Amino acid sequence: MQLDKEIKDLEEEIEAIKKFKSGQNGVEKNNLLNELKTKTMKLIQKQDKYENEHKRKIDEFKQLKNLILNFHISLDCAKISPDSNKLLMENGVNENNVKLYLSDIENKLKIIQKFFEMERMEIEDFDVKKFDNTNKEKLNPKQVSDNMKIAFDSMGIQNCSLYF
């Protein structure tokens, strides 16, 4: 890292000053050495801060990548993933392919959204006057129509027992 290089450079500079400035006043040498040691300590603290921040971000990404993979699997996004991306996605979520997973999830959610929008439009276009509900029982609002079941099956969503 660059901070390691800067630290080594400063330590080398301290040693060089010790060797070459042996003829100077002891107070001047001590002041210069203290100044360089202060700079070195600041750089070490800065390096520790960056390392801790990097470690924290890596831990956060580990948690996120598991969630992303689980979401990708639960939506069965592998079916809509382009073949060109499947090779890159073989080894699970990592820093290089996380955008591919998120793209598949987004596309799957758009498909589901379009389906529900089409269902809503069918309901809104439905002519209430033509509907004879005298002999038919009313549906529970949480029940899903047969068309929706077929659409869910075609998208590979069979685990929607909450709605069926």
Residue 100 phi, psi dihedral angles, 5° rounding: -65, -45
Give me the percent of the chain exceeding a pLDDT of 90: 34
- Once rounded to an integer, what is the mean pLDDT over residues 98-114? 92
- Once rounded to an integer, what is the mean pLDDT over residues 42-53? 94
76-105 pLDDT, tens per residue?
888 888 888 888 888 889 999 999 999 999
58-83 pLDDT, tens per residue?
999 999 999 999 999 999 888 888 88
Give me the percent of the chain exceeding a pLDDT of 70: 70
**Residue 150 is assigned to a structural domain of this protein:** yes
Please indicate, yes or no, whether residues 58 and 92 belong to a single structural domain of this protein: no
Question: 107, 100, 98: which is closest to 80 by C-alpha?
Answer: 107
DSSP 126: -
- Once rounded to an integer, what is the mean pLDDT over residues 31-53? 91
Please indicate, yes or no, whether residues 120 and 160 belong to a single structural domain of this protein: yes
> Residue 107: how many CB atoms within 10 A of its CB?
15
Question: 92, 143, 95: which is closest to 119 by C-alpha?
Answer: 143
Alpha helices in 75-125 (DSSP H): 83-86, 98-125
CA 98 to chain centroid: 6
**Residue 59 is assigned to a structural domain of this protein:** yes
Please indicate, yes or no, whether residues 10 and 70 belong to a single structural domain of this protein: yes
Between CA 58 and CA 96 the distance in angstroms is 14
pLDDT of res. 164: 38
15 Cβ neighbours under 8 A, 6+ residues apart: none
DSSP 130: G
pLDDT of res. 136: 46
- Pick from 68-72, 141-145, 160-164: least confident: 160-164
**Residue 134 is assigned to a structural domain of this protein:** no
Please indicate, yes or no, whether residues 94 and 154 belong to a single structural domain of this protein: yes
DSSP 79: G
pLDDT of res. 132: 47
Please indicate, yes or no, whether residues 55 and 34 belong to a single structural domain of this protein: yes
Confidence grade of residue 134 (pLDDT, cut at 50, 70, 90): very low
Please indicate, yes or no, whether residues 44 and 121 belong to a single structural domain of this protein: no
Residue 34 or 147, more confident = 34
pLDDT of res. 150: 67
Which domain covers residue 43, as residue numbers? 1-74
Please indicate, yes or no, whether residues 64 and 91 belong to a single structural domain of this protein: no
